[in-house]
């Protein structure tokens, strides 16, 4: 487990800086991010990503199932809350009425490091249309399941397991045995083994739900690895990016921007 997983203030600042330097510029390559727009983040955690958008003049709504994380978000963004620039809601996204609880629809919806934790991915992606303004966009950032740390094993307290690549791809029984032997939090990691998503599966769901891909970027080195390992972000080589299935094993992060057809 990395230190910033424990230090929530640092994690919040890291997410805000990463969103400012990579997520927002990525979106702006295909869609203008303007003051006055409304943004919805699903799975907002401590609110770091929203912070970057709010600082650009957008009004934000963050939805998060874990109330404990929103306690931190409300503390870290207390000034923005007081100014009416951001709202946090602890609720299942399937139970939300956009008009009643969100005050309307959004120009931008963000799911960063979230879709790989969702069991009914197609159901969620399809439902996002209910919250999107005409002409609006949805951003996804996620690690392909087959990449070296696609199992999120970095949350392990055991340093060896936290830094060991690819073993999450072992058969479930063996993987579970390793985690239990090392007394690691197997429940969350085994859930991710069930919900992990590949590039191909994501693109197929997008197509089946009648969206179009506006823009995408694949990373050999995830921008967030600057904080984890001190590595500089690096985009994936074109030849690797073009090889279906194989690319999942060597691509640590993908960014996608989609819109309704």
Domain edge (last residue) among 161, 192, 223: 192
* Same structural domain, 95 and 126: yes
Residue 84: give the domain boundaries: 3-147+197-260
* Same structural domain, 33 and 130: yes
pLDDT in tens, 104-118: 999 999 999 999 999
Does residue 78 surpass a pLDDT of 70?
A: yes
* Same structural domain, 56 and 21: yes
Mean pLDDT of 211-223: 98
The two three-digit tokens of residue 203, written as one number? 């693109």
User: In whole angstroms, what is the distance from residue 223 CA to residue 256 CA?
Assistant: 15
Q: How far is CA 212 from CA 19, 51, 145, 223, in A?
A: 23, 27, 22, 25
Across 3-17, 36-50, 111-125, 174-188, least confident range: 3-17
Does residue 185 surpass a pLDDT of 80?
A: no
Is there a contact between 244 and 18 (Cβ–Cβ < 8 Å)?
no
Q: How many domains does the chain have?
A: 2
Average model confidence (pLDDT) across the chain: 94
User: In whole angstroms, what is the distance from residue 125 CA to residue 256 CA?
Assistant: 13
pLDDT in tens, 136-165: 999 999 999 999 999 998 888 888 998 899
* Same structural domain, 64 and 174: no
Is there a contact between 143 and 111 (Cβ–Cβ < 8 Å)?
no
CB contact set of 8 (below 8 Å; sequence gap of 6+): 46, 72, 76
User: In whole angstroms, what is the distance from residue 49 CA to residue 86 CA?
Assistant: 12
- Predicted confidence band at 96 (pLDDT cuts at 50, 70, 90)? confident
Q: Coil, helix or strand for 40? A: strand
User: In whole angstroms, what is the distance from residue 3 CA to residue 136 CA?
Assistant: 36
Share of the chain above pLDDT 90, in %: 84
pLDDT in tens, 11-45: 999 999 999 999 999 999 999 999 999 999 999 99
CATH number at residue 33: 3.40.50.150
The CB-side HSE value for 29 (13 A sphere, CA atoms) comes to 14
Q: What is the DSSP secondary structure assignment for residue 53, as one 8-state letter?
A: H
Residue 57 CA to chain centroid, in angstroms? 22
Is there a contact between 44 and 38 (Cβ–Cβ < 8 Å)?
no
Q: Are strands 132-142 and 59-63 parallel, antiparallel or unpaired?
A: unpaired
* Same structural domain, 140 and 86: yes
* Same structural domain, 90 and 182: no
pLDDT at 3: 55
Q: Which of 213, 215, 247, 220 is nearest to 236 (CA)?
A: 220
**25 or 183: which leads in pLDDT:** 25
* Same structural domain, 188 and 201: no
* Same structural domain, 157 and 251: no
Does residue 6 surpass a pLDDT of 70?
A: no
CB contact set of 244 (below 8 Å; sequence gap of 6+): 199, 200
Kindly give the residue spans of alpha helices, DSSP state H, lying in 112-198: 121-127, 159-162, 172-181, 186-195
pLDDT at 2: 52
* Same structural domain, 136 and 30: yes
* Same structural domain, 19 and 89: yes
Does residue 215 surpass a pLDDT of 70?
A: yes
pLDDT at 4: 53
* Same structural domain, 64 and 134: yes
Cut 0.85: pTM above it: yes
* Same structural domain, 116 and 203: yes
pLDDT at 5: 55
């Amino acid at each position: 487990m990395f230190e910033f997983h424990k230090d929530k203030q640092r994690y919040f600042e890291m997410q805000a800086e990463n969103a400012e330097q990579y997520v927002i510029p990525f979106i702006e390559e295909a869609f203008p991010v303007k003051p006055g727009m409304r943004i919805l983040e699903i799975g907002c955690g401590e609110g770091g990503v929203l912070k970057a958008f709010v600082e650009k003049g957008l009004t934000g709504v963050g939805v998060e199932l874990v109330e404990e994380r929103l306690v931190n978000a409300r503390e870290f963004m207390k000034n923005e809350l007081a100014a009416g620039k951001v709202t946090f809601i602890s609720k299942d996204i399937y139970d939300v009425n956009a008009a009643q609880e969100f005050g309307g629809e959004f120009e931008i919806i963000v799911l960063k490091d979230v879709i790989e934790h969702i069991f009914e991915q197609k159901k969620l992606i399809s439902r996002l249309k209910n919250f999107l303004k005409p002409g609006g966009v949805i951003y996804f950032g996620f690690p392909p399941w087959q990449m070296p740390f696609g199992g999120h094993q970095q949350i392990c307290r055991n340093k060896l397991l936290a830094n060991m690549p690819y073993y999450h791809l072992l058969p479930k029984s063996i993987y579970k045995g390793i985690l239990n032997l090392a007394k690691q939090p197997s429940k969350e990691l085994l859930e991710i083994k069930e919900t992990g998503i590949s590039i191909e599966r994501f693109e197929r769901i997008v197509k089946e739900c009648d969206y179009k891909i506006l823009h995408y970027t694949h990373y050999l080195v995830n921008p967030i690895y600057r904080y984890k390992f001190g590595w500089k972000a690096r985009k994936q080589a074109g030849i690797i990016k073009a090889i279906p299935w194989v690319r999942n094993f060597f691509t640590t992060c993908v960014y996608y921007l989609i819109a309704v057809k």
